Amino acid sequence: MGEANETIPVGVMGLGSIGRLIAGAALSSPELSLVAAIDRAPSLAGRALSQLVPGAPASVTVSCRLEDIAPALKGGVLLHATSSRFDAALPELESAIEAGIHVVSTCEELAFPWLKHPEEADRLDQKAESHGVTVLGTGVNPGFVLDRLVAAAGSVVGKIRKVHAQRVVEVLGRREALQRKVGVGLTEAEFEARVEAGGFGHVGLAESAALCALGLGLDFDELEEEVRPVLAEEEVSGPPRIGQGMVAGLYQQVRGFDEGQEVINLELTIAALVDEAFDHLEIDATPPVRLKVFGGYGGEEATAWAVVNAAARVCRAEPGILTVLELPSGR
């Protein structure tokens, strides 16, 4: 709803494929005015945003530093899409907060930062509160399909014994960054070495599990995460072409246990030539719930709209770090 004729100034930070989609979505939102764009790549500095995002106002050029455009965004919202990792995003989040700018971010760990960064999350929460701004991590995964939608589906049932949610995504035809992220084209050994080295795989599945627990009133004392390659059974003509036996994507699972009993099971497959793309959810409760999203939520576009639709919401929310569970339903 918002005040009539008063739009909220927003800036996009991080002009990768998701950031550009966010900028495009922001342009078509009647509640928002896109007034700034920031990317640290020197090759983009000073360019007209309209060269990257068709329809962007001619007045918006790409800045390298948030500080340069902070005054125009005060009281508005930074739409932040630079990193999956909380540590990497933190200095940018802090700059925005100190400048009095709300933040909606695709940073996966920010969806529930207390899971892996409890102390820094508390400090960030306090900083946001003291500057009167709200910070939200959202997207489609984490941020919706395996957490917010699960919690919404479980809003009208009794005590929950277990939740099992699955997402299967076709990676062909998706952005290259996603294909790289899930190891498409690697050998099995290369994939395993990356898993071994740490930091490989989809970021945010454990955060989704934590959000499920919070939203559904489940306790867990142990969280197990596993990442495995999905190998191409036959050659995939692509693009990209994937040789037989090479990595076609990943399978990832997080299981939450309460005193040895599995209470949360989230499974994610992002691979080439999946049999069927879908999101599926089963809640063992009274009454039970079984729900399927045919084709699954479209990752990139849904992420961009998750961010843009939340922008007006954060301006009206309590200051501090917000989770997607606290957002009202709707656009």
Contact 131, 95 (CB under 8 A): no
Using CB under 8 A as the binding rule, whether residue 36 contacts a copy of itself is answered as no
Place of tokens 């035809």: 173
- Taking CB under 8 A as the criterion, the residue among 9, 100, 298, 320 binding a copy of itself is 298
Task: Take residue 78 and report the two structure tokens written for it.
Answer: 């930074």
The letter for the amino acid at 185 is: G
Interface residue with a copy of itself, options 123, 180, 292, 318 (CB under 8 A): 292
Our finding on whether 18 is near a copy of itself (CB under 8 A) is no
DSSP annotation of 162 reads E
Interface with a copy of itself (CB under 8 A), residue from 35, 306, 311, 315: 306
Task: Give the pair of three-digit tokens for residue 195.
Answer: 């898993």
Closest CB 225 distance from a copy of itself, rounded Å: 23
Q: How do beta strands 222-231 and 134-137 pair?
A: unpaired
- What is the nearest approach in angstroms of a copy of itself to the Cβ of residue 39? 23
Subset of 42-61 contacting a copy of itself (CB under 8 A): none
Angle 220-225-230 from CA coordinates, rounded to 5° = 145
Residues that contact a copy of itself, how many (by CB under 8 A)? 47
Q: Quick one: which of 23, 25, 66, 184 contacts a copy of itself (CB under 8 A)?
A: 25
Query: Which of residues 173 and 328 has its CB atom nearest to a copy of itself in the complex?
Result: 328
Stretch that binds a copy of itself, among 66-74, 201-209, 253-261, 282-290 (CB under 8 A): 282-290
Q: Kindly tell me which of 161 and 241 has the beta carbon lying closer to a copy of itself.
A: 161
> Coil, helix or strand for 27?
helix
Query: Is the peptide bond prior to 287 cis by the omega test (within 30 degrees of 0)?
Result: yes
**Contact between residue 115 and residue 298 where contact means Cβ atoms under 8 Å apart:** no
By beta-carbon proximity to a copy of itself, the closer residue of 267 and 282 is 282
- DSSP 8-state code for residue 232: P
In sequence order, which residues have a C-beta less than 8 Å from that of residue 93 and are 6 or more positions away?
Answer: 80, 103, 105, 107, 110, 124, 135
Interaction with a copy of itself in 159-218: which residues (CB under 8 A)?
159-160, 214-217
Q: Which residue in 157, 223, 231, 273 binds a copy of itself (CB under 8 A)?
A: 157
CA distances from 52 to 45, 179, 240, 310 (A): 12, 22, 24, 23
CB of 326 to a copy of itself, least distance (A): 5
Q: Which residue in the set 271, 302, 311, 321 belongs to the binding site for a copy of itself (CB under 8 A)?
A: 302
Instruction: List residues binding a copy of itself (CB under 8 A).
Output: 25, 28, 140, 143-144, 148-149, 151-160, 214-217, 286-295, 297-298, 301-303, 305-306, 309, 324-331
